[in-house]
Structure 1
Amino acid sequence: MSQPVFGHVGSYRPGDTFRNRIDLSLSGVHRPRRTGVCGTQLLGAESIVLAGQYEEDDFGEDEILYSGNGGRDPKTGRQIMDQMATTGILALLKSIETKLPVRVMRKVPAEGDGLDVYRYEGLYQVVDFTYGPGKSGFQVYVFRLRPIF
């Protein structure tokens, strides 16, 4: 298993794109092929992916709101139960303490061919979180991340 990296990986920089989750994993920019958070509750989150799957996610110019994971129906995409503090959420909570940078990837439309790609957005710091009723009425974790310049 690869050693955790908090910060840029290799020569990859904001704006770089990747065709799919496998390419993200092989590059080391975001190692898990399915989960949205790479990290542990002991060290914190190394990277996250915003893929448009959670209704609370919001990518803004000055900050990102990123939902914790879990409680979502994979068929409909709707939140159907409260989120629990599992591995990814615990990693993001630890990142608030450590203040280590988190790499952010976002699924975006590719230029020209209409397919989606994953774009490396840069380094962010997890600054805060809330746990409360989301848009569907279930308890969700929402993390606030700010860019590191």
Structure 2
Amino acid sequence: MLGTVCICDNEMKPVRGQVMKVKAPWQNGIYIIDCHNRCSYIIPNIELTTLGGTKQIDYNTNISNTDRQHIQSTCQTIIPSLKTAEILKEVVGLRPSRTRVRVEAETLQRQDKFLRVVHNYGHGGAGITLSIGCANEAADLVEMLLARSKM
């Protein structure tokens, strides 16, 4: 047993994301506009549509009226029919982010034991858009490490 291994990453920052979930069954297009600390997006799903959002380096998980107004006004400018969409809920979360997404293999040594680790984190608010590519890359790294361990 190796025990606990702490891997610290000083580049990690919390990215605050505030979004609204609305009922807009007529909405079927995806819109994404990215800017510095706020981004606007409309992402339809089967049951609801997500309107967003924010990307602020902040630990605050409270709903902000200012951000709510920004989300509504920006998304309603893009799709005016969203003015009639019923708001089902509002959510604020913290997303782990760093300057660059970390997808890499590393071997850590603790005493005379070696621990092979595949890192795949730091996606911030782009996790869903990067998930397939990063997962494929991480899986390739795991296969590479397993192949090396058999040598």
Q: Which has the higher strand share?
A: 2
Please say whether Structure 1 and Structure 2 have the same fold, judged by a TM-score greater than 0.5.
Answer: no
Of structures 1 and 2, the one with the larger relative CO (CA 8 A, separation 6+) is: 1
Query: TM (normalized to structure 2)?
Result: 0.25
Q: Which has the larger radius of gyration?
A: 2
